[in-house]
Amino acid sequence: MTSQLDISTLNLQDALDMAVLIEKEAEERYLLFADQLGKRYRGDAADFFTMMARNEQRHGIEIAERRRLLFGDIPSRVTENMIECDVEAPDLEKTRRYMSPRHALEIAMESEIKAYEFYDRALQGIQDPTVRKLIKELRDEEAEHQRLLNEQKVKYPDTMEPDLDPDDVEIPSL
């Protein structure tokens, strides 16, 4: 049974717990994508998704440490099935075989934009000043992640075409 979380009623502990879960879901999704694609060479789409998973993990750890410093080991009241799915995680159907690293970057950018919009919408109903401050910080961090991804674009060819080596192309025999 899922229970939808009313973000407008969150206290600071619950908001931090929600943010940790959002980062964890994104990390796990990127690892799934990397596994699905399989690493073919350094800098391929799987490599990019693995890097994104590390970034999401690092961000989640930072938020979890902040939560721990403020609230110690008090158990979380927020669970995975209470939060909206895919807040920052890319949609499951986004990967495709032989996707280019640039395509992977664009998927990550969509996810960072989606997370920014989620936190921006959440601000509308939050009255608690400490929770508002946290949500604004999280939203602004998503904007920073978008900026960093934009900087990464120069490293990847500007193509969404499949990333195929001639040996990967299967030619049916006639």
Provide the whole-model pTM.
0.88
- pLDDT at residue 167 greater than cutoff 70: no
The tokens for 139 are 């939203």
Give domain limits for the chain: 10-85+95-160
pLDDT attached to residue 161: 66
Q: What fold is seen in the domain 10-85+95-160?
A: Ferritin (1.20.1260)
pLDDT in tens, 94-113: 988 889 999 999 999 999 99
**How many whole angstroms separate alpha carbon 101 and alpha carbon 48?**
7
**How many whole angstroms separate alpha carbon 33 and alpha carbon 105?**
12
Q: Which residue has the higher pLDDT, 40 or 135?
A: 135
Q: Give the gyration radius of the chain's Cα atoms.
A: 18
